[in-house]
Amino acid sequence: MIANTLKIYQYSKRCNVLRVAGQLKALPAGRAGTPDEVCDLAEFLNDGGTTDSYWHGDLQYLKATY
């Protein structure tokens, strides 16, 4: 039987914080991404890198053409 739901809630929140902190430490960077890094990754995943290639890679010739 659950005697004190507030205490159980607090324990669960603390466990979640520890779990997420452990997951972040396991990342190659050892931290969460900055907002710019997250946006860059989302953009890359959404268009397959086409925007990045347009500005920095193989598709730069299109900038001069259009």
Tens of pLDDT, residues 47-66 = 766 776 777 777 777 777 76
Q: CA-to-CA distance for 58 and 36, rounded, in angstroms?
A: 23
Count up the domains in the chain and report the number.
Answer: 2
Do 38 and 62 belong together in one domain?
yes
Tens of pLDDT, residues 8-19 = 999 999 999 999
Do 25 and 49 belong together in one domain?
no
What's the pLDDT band for 46 if we cut at 50, 70, 90? confident
- Which structural domain range is residue 10 located in? 1-31
Kindly state the tokens that stand for 56: 């920095």
Do 22 and 47 belong together in one domain?
no
Do 22 and 3 belong together in one domain?
yes
In our burial notation (b when 16+ CB lie closer than 10 A, e otherwise), range 18-50 reads: eeeeeeeeeeeeeeeeeeeeeeeeeeeeeeeee
Tens of pLDDT, residues 19-32 = 998 898 898 888 88
Kindly state the tokens that stand for 1: 């039987």
Do 38 and 64 belong together in one domain?
yes
Residue 33 has pLDDT above 70, yes or no: yes
pTM for this predicted structure:
0.45
Do 13 and 27 belong together in one domain?
yes
